[in-house]
Amino acid sequence: MPTEQSLALSELFFSLQGESTYAGLPCVFIRLAGCNLRCRYCDARYTYEEIGGNKSLSEIIAFVDLYPEAIVEITGGEPMLQENVIPLMQRLVDQKRTVLLETNGSIDLSSVPDGVTIIIDVKCPDSGMAHANRLENLTTLNKSAEIKFVLCSRKDYDWAVACAKAHNLIDCRNGRALRPVLFSPVSGYLPPAELAAWILQDKLAVRLQLQLHKILWPESDRGV
């Protein structure tokens, strides 16, 4: 008898979505274990420093079913490292759930099922992981995808602007981006007001994104 597909899980919890155009909405988080990168500012080291527990797709979906009105975010670590994330996303989409996939963008995303909103966290130079970006992903994304640049410095900002323009993500002529482009300052590295001033000065059609969970729950480093 075949065993059921499973995933190595870091945590499963219910909170508020914090870092996309869905920010503020109640959300079930499926945080998978393991990551292929080591960003300098990583606040989820436990996803790769601790051994995750395995759960079957049915067990994960049973937890999601406890919150029928919530959106669902699959995150990590890097969720695309585990092939069984694909059937999990497909089952959730088939159940008509709103599904977000937050990924570091270093892995080919062409197998992500239609109906999933991809949020790519493009790695800027000060993350120390910019070499790992698979920028081809930016040219094949569907319309619902969101591109997030997590910024530590002015150097990161300049790099992000150049990258967004090179991939035609920002259409300044019409005063709005072709798709949501999020500029998110790393807490403790880049003051949000400084980033706001740069965006206004450059009249950029990007969204300033604050890390909502760090504002709401500054003392909590997991489960939020």
Residues at the contact surface with ligand SF4, assessed by CB under 6 A: 35, 37-39, 42, 44, 47, 76-78, 104
* HEC per residue, the chain: CCCCCEEEEEEEEEEECCCCCCCCCEEEEEEECCCCCCCCCCCCCHHHHCCCEEEEHHHHHHHHCCCCCCEEEEECCCHHHCCCHHHHHHHHHHCCCCEEEEECCCCCCCCCCCCEEEEEEECCHHHCCHHHCCHHHHHCCCCCCEEEEEECCHHHHHHHHHHHHHCCCCCHHHCCCCCCEEEEECCCCCCHHHHHHHHHHHCCCCEECCCHHHHHCCCCCCCC
Kindly state the smallest distance separating residue 4's Cβ from ligand SF4, in Å: 26
Beta carbon of residue 27, minimum distance to ligand SF4 (angstroms, whole number): 17
Q: Judged by CB, which is closer to ligand SF4: 113, or 128? A: 128
Decide whether 97 or 213 has the Cβ nearer to ligand SF4: 213
Nearer CB in complex with ligand SF4: 35/119? 35
Q: What is the largest CA-CA distance in the chain?
A: 63
Identity of the residue, 102 or 206, whose beta carbon is nearer to ligand SF4 in the bound complex: 102
Q: Which is nearer to ligand SF4, 19 or 205 (CB)?
A: 19
Rounded to 5°, angle at Cα 120 from 40 and 185? 50
- Comparison of 133 and 170: residue with beta carbon closer to ligand SF4: 133
**Nearest 10 degrees: CA dihedral of 135, 139, 145, 146?**
50
User: Nearest distance from residue 19's CB to ligand SF4, in Å?
Assistant: 11
> Which phi and psi (to 5°) does residue 182 adopt?
-110, 130
Judged by CB, which is closer to ligand SF4: 105, or 180? Answer: 105
